[in-house]
């Protein structure tokens, strides 16, 4: 693995190996024998807000021996219009890896190409691969795995989260039922390229939740869409609440990548009832990303 740009680009074996490593690193926290990032500086270039991703990467890089350098877009020349490929060619000569949160997936792809250093997608409009690795680790820990389990995603059917979940379903083969309002469903051309009969799309949240062991949701308006109030109106009836969960399988878990808007995509009661799982999911960002950092790092000086 040279970069982590998407779940789409990962193979099945790469995903499961990362999860195995994440579980091991979680066990070994505080006593890591190896410090693979010793002597290295990793840049975190963020164009959007972040709590979990920023903190988990800064802590994870330090715990693996490296030094994180946080660069907010508006504090570097990127914010004044310096092209991403020029930023990449400069940083590629100075730092050892980069973690990027931005809008356009192509910016992450270009950064990886022009910098030549390991590059991690920390969320774009297309994908949120680090989050999905943490989510899968949580499903493994809570339910033992995803084999023969139905996973439901209730919300925006073409957000970064759903796209990454759909690619995870393609790679790992679990049943994924996505419920989204008609105007927020993935386009036919995306579904054709996904080519995954185990992924189904419906406009009925109750249908997706029927018999599901994992119920996943996310904000209705992703970062950058906050003023799309018309879009938000389409989600009436899509709140994950007690009434909707009545149809879920016994022993089901609820996931939310956070931050959550209580009273919109999830009720206060459901979030608090499932807080143990949801905050374990947030913690797993740290462990999953350490596995990614270990898989991508190259020896210092290279
Ligand atoms: N889930 C997630 O990526 O959270 P942040 O936006 O706080 O990083
Ligand atoms: N879909 C959300 C995920 C936040 C972690 C967003 O992009 O804002």
Reported as a single tens digit per residue, the pLDDT across 276-288 is: 999 999 999 999 9
8 Å CB contact between 130 and 4: yes
Tell me if 159 CB under 6 Å of ligand 2: yes
**Residue nearest ligand 1's atom 6 by CA:** 50
The lowest-confidence range among 61-65, 192-196, 228-232, 297-301 is 297-301
- Active-site residues, by number, are 101, 128, 131, 218, 257, 285
- Ligand 2 atom nearest 225 alpha carbon: 8
Domain limits, CATH 3.40.50.1370, in the chain = 12-127+285-296, 131-282
Q: Is the peptide bond before 104 cis (omega within 30 degrees of 0)?
A: no
Angle, CA 253 vertex, CA 247 and CA 258 arms, to 5°: 115
pLDDT digits (tens, 9 = 90+) for 134-148: 999 999 999 999 999
pLDDT at 297: 84
**12-127+285-296: in CATH 3.40.50.1370:** yes
pLDDT grade for 106, boundaries at 50, 70 and 90: very high
Residue 80 predicted with pLDDT over 50: yes
Choose which residue among 122, 129, 259, 278 to substitute to test ligand 1 binding: the one with the highest number of ligand atoms within 8 A of its C-beta.
Answer: 259
pLDDT digits (tens, 9 = 90+) for 28-55: 999 998 999 999 999 999 999 999 999 9
d(CA 200, CA 198): 6
Tell me if 52 CB under 6 Å of ligand 1: yes
CA–centroid distance, residue 222 to ligand 2 (Å): 5
Residue 206 predicted with pLDDT over 80: yes
Mean pLDDT of 229-241: 97
Contacts of 105 (CB under 8 A, 6+ apart): 5, 6, 121, 124, 125, 126, 127
Tell me if 258 CB under 6 Å of ligand 1: yes
Residue 301 predicted with pLDDT over 70: no
Residue 300 predicted with pLDDT over 80: no
pLDDT grade for 187, boundaries at 50, 70 and 90: very high
- Ligand 1 atom nearest 101 alpha carbon: 8
CA–centroid distance, residue 221 to ligand 1 (Å): 14
pTM: 0.98
Q: Look over the chain and give the mean of its residue pLDDT values, rounded to a whole number.
A: 97
Give the CATH number of domain 131-282: 3.40.50.1370
Mean pLDDT of 153-166: 98
pLDDT grade for 302, boundaries at 50, 70 and 90: very low
Q: What percent of the chain has pLDDT over 70?
A: 99
Q: Three-class SS of residue 232?
A: helix
What is the chain's Cα-based Rg? 19
Mean pLDDT of 163-180: 98
Choose which residue among 132, 158, 166, 219 to substitute to test ligand 2 binding: the one with the highest number of ligand atoms within 8 A of its C-beta.
Answer: 219
Tell me if 122 CB under 6 Å of ligand 2: no
Tell me if 228 CB under 6 Å of ligand 1: no
Tell me if 164 CB under 6 Å of ligand 2: no
Residue 299 predicted with pLDDT over 80: no
Provide the token pair at 235.
């989600």
Cα dihedral 285, 288, 294, 297 sign = negative
Q: What percent of the chain has pLDDT over 90?
A: 97
């Amino acid at each position: 693995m040279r970069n982590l740009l998407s779940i789409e680009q990962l193979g099945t074996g790469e995903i499961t190996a990362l999860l195995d490593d994440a579980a091991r690193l979680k066990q070994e926290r505080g006593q890591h024998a190896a410090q693979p990032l010793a002597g290295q500086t990793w840049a975190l270039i963020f164009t959007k807000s972040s709590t979990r991703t920023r903190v988990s990467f800064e802590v994870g890089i330090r715990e693996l021996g490296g030094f994180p350098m946080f660069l907010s877009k508006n504090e570097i020349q990127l914010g004044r219009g310096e092209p991403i490929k020029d930023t990449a060619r400069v940083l590629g000569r100075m730092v050892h890896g980069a973690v990027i949160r931005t809008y356009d997936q192509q910016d992450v792809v270009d950064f990886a190409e022009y910098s030549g250093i390991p590059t991690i997608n920390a969320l774009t409009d297309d994908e949120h691969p680090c989050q999905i690795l943490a989510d899968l680790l949580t499903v493994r820990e809570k339910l033992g795995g995803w084999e023969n389990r139905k996973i439901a995603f209730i919300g925006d059917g073409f957000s970064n989260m759903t796209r990454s979940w759909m690619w995870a379903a393609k790679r790992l083969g679990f049943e994924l039922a996505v419920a989204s309002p008609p105007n927020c469903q993935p386009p036919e051309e995306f579904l054709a390229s996904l080519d995954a009969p185990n992924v189904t799309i419906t406009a009925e949240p109750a249908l997706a939740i029927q018999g599901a062991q994992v119920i996943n949701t996310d904000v209705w308006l992703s970062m950058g869409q906050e003023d799309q109030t018309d879009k938000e109106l389409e989600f009436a009836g899509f709140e994950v609440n007690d009434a909707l969960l009545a149809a879920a399988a016994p022993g089901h878990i609820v996931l939310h990548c956070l931050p959550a808007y209580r009273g919109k995509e999830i009720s206060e009661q459901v979030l608090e009832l499932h807080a143990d799982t949801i905050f374990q999911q947030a913690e797993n960002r740290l462990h999953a990303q350490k596995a990614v950092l270990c898989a991508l790092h190259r020896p210092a000086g290279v």
